[in-house]
Amino acid sequence: MSIRIFYGFVVAAALAAAVPLRAQNTVAIGDDVSSKLTSVLATLARAVPQDDARIAAQRVSPGSRLSGDALPQPVQDAIAGRRLRLNGANEIQVYILMSPVNDDRLAQLTAAGVAIEIADAGRRRVQARVPASRLRLIASLSFVDFIRLPTYARHLSGVVTTEGDKILRAEDVRKQLSLDGAGVRVGVLSDGLKGVFAAGCDTCGGVAGGPISSGDLPDAVGVRKAGVLVSASGGIAGRSFQQNGDLEGLPAQACAFAGAGAEGTAILEIVHDLAPGAQLSFANADTDLAFNRAVNYLASTNDIVMDDLGFFGDAYDGTSGVSTSSSRPPTRPTCWDSARSRTT
């Protein structure tokens, strides 16, 4: 064998070894990866120019905000119904189904422009925000099994105004037995604490004419960052598990109505009527993964926990992540009451 041929073999072997590891973890984006995207995401990916593997390591430039009117009708319908949530950076909140969920895989997703929000290794999924221009690129990763929209909470409310004290005769209990809930911790998981705290401040007391000033809720203090209520303390301990951190649970303007975000406020007022001495806690959540985190938080700090959020599309036999989280939180409260029996 001549020296020239020998060096040719050496160079060829070196080039083969230098193939980027990233190429080993992707399938050709030219292949059909639409089967790894839920139908509405596949439709969106066809309507938005997609980045290719050559720029996978580059920082995503969101460009101008996508116009809803210019998107296909199925995508418009999903946005209007809040099933598809697109932020100002043109990122969609999704669940990425994959196996396994480990640090290496999460690092590869991050390097490809994915913003990881919650990793759920037990159910082999990740809640994340993916640029609309990289849906097909992320779907092409060999370890990604499927990308779908999250399961979002549905706010459930009754059709009859409660007559709590009268029906339960709670007033008689308070008078005759001198029981008012003192020493009992009650947690509520619902949509928001709208209408409780003042606005235009960083550390805020109750809003003028609101439920704190009227005595319908105990005295509490809310903390705002850039106008968004992010926590509460005092008579109401509040924490948000929504991706945007909004404890008031205010919806997008397109679907806002006068009472939106105040369902949690109403439940807390009812609890305070029945047991004015109880310590109150509140949490809200948007996806079922966020709900599970809120469940664990409230269960670890309260004696009684209740929620009125529902999730559709999961198993109805008690095996869904929401059902098992509610029935077996790490720290079990004395009592758990849920309005979700007909949905999970």
In tens, the pLDDT along 154-212 reads: 655 433 335 666 677 777 777 677 777 878 899 999 989 999 999 999 999 999 888 88
- Both tokens of 265, joined, read 């406020």
187 with 283: CB under 8 angstroms? yes
Burial 194-211 (b: 16+ CB within 10 A, else e): bbbbeeeeeebbbbeebb
Share of the chain above pLDDT 90, in %: 40
> Is pLDDT above 50 for 148?
yes
pLDDT per residue as tens digits for the range 59-102: 666 668 888 788 999 898 888 878 899 998 999 999 999 989 99
Please write down the HEC assignment for all residues of 173-237: HHHHHCCCCCCCEEEEEECCCCCCECCCCCEECECCCCCCCCCCCCCEEEEEECCEEEEEEECEE
Secondary structure of residue 282 in the 3-state scheme: strand
Residue 76, sorted as left (phi over 0), alpha (psi -120 to 50) or beta, turns out to be: alpha
114 with 151: CB under 8 angstroms? no
CA 1 to mean position of chain CA atoms: 64
H or E element in which residue 128 lies: strand 125-131
Tell me the backbone φ, ψ of residue 26, rounded to 5 degrees: -130, 155
Rounded to whole angstroms, how far apart are CA atoms 72 and 132? 14
pLDDT at 335: 60
Q: Which of 75-89, 107-121, 129-143, 304-318 has the lowest mean pLDDT?
A: 304-318
pLDDT at 13: 45
pLDDT per residue as tens digits for the range 247-294: 998 766 555 556 567 889 999 998 888 888 889 999 999 888 999 899
pLDDT at 336: 56
Q: Which of 267-271, 309-313, 336-340 has the highest mean pLDDT?
A: 267-271
Mean pLDDT, residues 137-160: 78
> Is pLDDT above 60 for 10?
no
> Is pLDDT above 60 for 2?
no
Mean pLDDT of the chain: 79
Residue with tokens 């670890």, as numbered in its chain: 300
Burial 65-95 (b: 16+ CB within 10 A, else e): ebeeeebeeebeebbeeeebbbeeebbbbbb
pLDDT at 57: 59
Distance between the two ends of the chain, CA-based, in angstroms? 72
pLDDT at 219: 87
pLDDT per residue as tens digits for the range 233-246: 988 999 999 989 99
